Chain A
Amino acid sequence: MLDLDLTLRERLGMEKIIQEALSGHVGETGGLITGLRHVQERCGFVPSETVRIAAELFNISQAEVRGVISFYADFRDKKPGQHHIRLCVAEACQSVGARAIEEDLLNRFAVRMGETDAADFVTIEPVYCLGLCSCAPAAEVNGKLIARVDGQRIADEVVS
């Protein structure tokens, strides 16, 4: 677990991971964004140290790095819960009850949209279209796409 009270050894280990994830993308078209994605894949989120390391590697200001991280919805500043639900809340899914599913899920897991529950069990985030609009409502649970869902189907996927 990467937590606030990291030991020095862990911190150095993480710095090395971030370095490795980023360094291959310096000089590449759009390399900062691709690098940040790799950091997130390795760490589960984009640790704050990334700002300084990326600024040095890409030879840009820390403000620019911070600006990029904050602009894109994909980049998280903390680790998600054990399970990660992305519920589509765009129009096509709304037309077949996405709003009701949203309410159902938030009640089931006692969590707010875009947040992680107190037990770090589940993170629920809105997503604006998964491209499954012909078989809406749609969701992604732990990276798996599911269509024509309801709250129960999503909950089943979480516990499966």
Chain B
Amino acid sequence: MSKQRIFVPLDSAAVALGADDVAAAIVREAAARDLDIEIVRTGSRGMHWLEPLIEVEVEGQRVGYGPTQQSEVLSLFDAGFLEGADHEKSVGIVANLPFMKDQQRLTFSRCGITDPLSLSDYQAHGGLDGVKRAIKLEQSDIVEVIKTSGLRGRGGAGFPAGIKWDTVQGAQADQKYIVCNADEGDSGTFADRMIMEGDPLLLIEGMVIAGLGVGATKGYIYLRSEYPIAARILNEAIEVAKSNKLLGDDVLGSGIAFHLTVFIGAGAYICGEETSLLESLEGKRGLVRAKPPLPALEGLFGKPTLVHNVLSLCAVPWILANGGDAYAEYGQGRSKGTLAFQLAGNIKQGGLFETAFGVKLGDLVNKYGGGTRTGRPFKTVQIGGPLGAYLPEQMLELPMDYEVMAQNGAGVGHGGIVVFDDTADLMAQARYAFEFCAEESCGKCTPCRVGAVRGEEVIDKIAAGTDYDQNMVLLEDLCELMVDGSLCAMGGMTPIPVMSAVKHFPDDFAPRHVREAAE
């Protein structure tokens, strides 16, 4: 009989909730019982409220137990969990849970299922189909597939990927680069981290295809230093890819080279901005560059560079394998395909939910997220990271769609959704938006560098009731200036959380003494 396999996530969220201890306890207990088992460390399924979620395979189906603590391992063995027996922590067949069943997982199809470092596992689940197809195509045909898919940059800006690819492909240069922006610094987002930890070969395949498509032979993954587990997994996956000729001088016998390196950042939110990222990758201060020139024409070391977010690149293998048209069938309007929504903050069922664009924000928060974790009334949701809008309950009806959100003064961003209950103070959140901007501004342009600090001061005056009316006007004026005058999205979008808070939660902006009197 072959070894019984037990699947335990290595995902940071699972580890932060005790997965390593659970894995060690399983090994100890199995040894004590003289059982021949193998622990397979996988990514996370994305149901983080069930982490650590351990799984066993029974008659070809994965049965899950979670959230599991180290102290429960003994009782799991006693109950017979290796045969999928019932236990108070049993969740049944994982794929049949409503949270999993209702998803449309194109990018995260393998995450939580396969061994992230096993190329044979990867291939058995559809891996490498995309790159094999790409090898047979001309550069321009690859670019055409991306255009047809309607894929837009998943990092937040939503710029059409096909146009970028076209520009880089058409540029003449002795060296071009693919740069993956894995500086996932937005609070409320962790999808990049999850896929890098749970299915790193997908990102590698996506970058190889991008290289083939635009004629780039070198790639870099710019990874934030806050993700040590992702760093380890990516580096190990690169070694696996090298030894299997997915990376190297001759990618899968195509005669085309592609080399990939992980670069670790050093703690700067601004380096998620693509030009700042490029400066940092060159070993300098992460100061934002003025555009033009576009990085697609003059990027890393002045060479044409395709800069993409992790999830944009991870969508590519599926698109190549299944066709641009097939991808474009998902979603609505000009928002094609799927997005990995991240349910975060004060939410009962936090985690990752991948589905086509058009899903209602309220369904993500309530139907799948289960509402607030504290059980208190919902107050607001911030979507799209620290530079995203705070929306009130009546806007939960909106579909997640780039254009619809933009019309409503918000943005889909990277798909991060942070829920707050009624204890949230939106004036404090608005002040924090300025505080964060002041902390993380690169300092190159004045509206951002100085505006952020002035913003904190103005809000403090509003809170104190000092020249209240004038300062409310001043706040709006300052925000307008930051939007119009900032060099990049850091200063240009900090006003979004601030002004959305003012607009939707005016009561929170009453002076402190008025609010205290009202309570």
- Give Cα A138–Cα B101 distance, bound, in whole angstroms: 29
Q: Which residue of A lies closest to B191 (CB)?
A: A131
* Selected interface stretch from B150-158, B238-246, B262-270: B262-270
Contacts of B266 in A (CB 8 A): 33, 36-37, 72-75
Contacts of B432 in A (CB 8 A): 91, 94
Provide the main secondary structure of the chain A interface. mixed
Contact with A along B249-271 (1 / 0, CB 8 A): 00000000000010111111100
Contacts of B434 in A (CB 8 A): none
| Cross-chain contact of B51 among A68, A72, A135 (Cβ < 8 A) | A135
Contacts of A138 in B (CB 8 A): 16
B143 within 8 A of A: no
Q: Which residue of B lies closest to A125 (CB)?
A: B267
Q: How many B residues face the partner with a CB closer than 8 A?
A: 62
Q: Which residue of A lies closest to B352 (CB)?
A: A134
A133 within 8 A of B: yes
Contacts of A135 in B (CB 8 A): 13, 16-17, 48-49, 51, 350
Whether A95 and B184, one on each chain, are in contact in the complex, defined by CB atoms closer than 8 angstroms, is: no
| Cross-chain contact of B186 among A34, A94, A96, A129 (Cβ < 8 A) | A129
A30-B282, A148-B17 in contact; A134/B184 too (CB < 8 A)?
no
Contacts of A24 in B (CB 8 A): none
- Give Cα A142–Cα B283 distance, bound, in whole angstroms: 27
- Give Cα A136–Cα B445 distance, bound, in whole angstroms: 33
Whether B13 and A134, one on each chain, are in contact in the complex, defined by CB atoms closer than 8 angstroms, is: yes
Whether B344 and A136, one on each chain, are in contact in the complex, defined by CB atoms closer than 8 angstroms, is: yes
B419 within 8 A of A: yes
Whether A131 and B48, one on each chain, are in contact in the complex, defined by CB atoms closer than 8 angstroms, is: no
B436 within 8 A of A: yes
* 16 further interface pairs, Cβ-Cβ under 8 Å (given A95-B420, A127-B226): A29-B282, A30-B263, A30-B282, A36-B266, A37-B225, A37-B266, A74-B267, A90-B436, A91-B345, A92-B344, A95-B424, A128-B436, A134-B343, A136-B345, A138-B16, A145-B15
Pairs A–B under 8 Å by Cβ, sample size 21 = A29-B263, A30-B280, A36-B266, A37-B264, A37-B266, A72-B265, A90-B386, A91-B187, A92-B187, A127-B226, A128-B386, A128-B436, A129-B185, A130-B12, A132-B12, A132-B190, A134-B13, A134-B343, A134-B351, A134-B352, A138-B16
Can you list the 10 inter-chain pairs with the closest CB atoms, starting with the nearest?
Answer: A134-B350, A90-B187, A133-B344, A72-B266, A73-B267, A95-B345, A147-B16, A74-B267, A145-B16, A32-B283
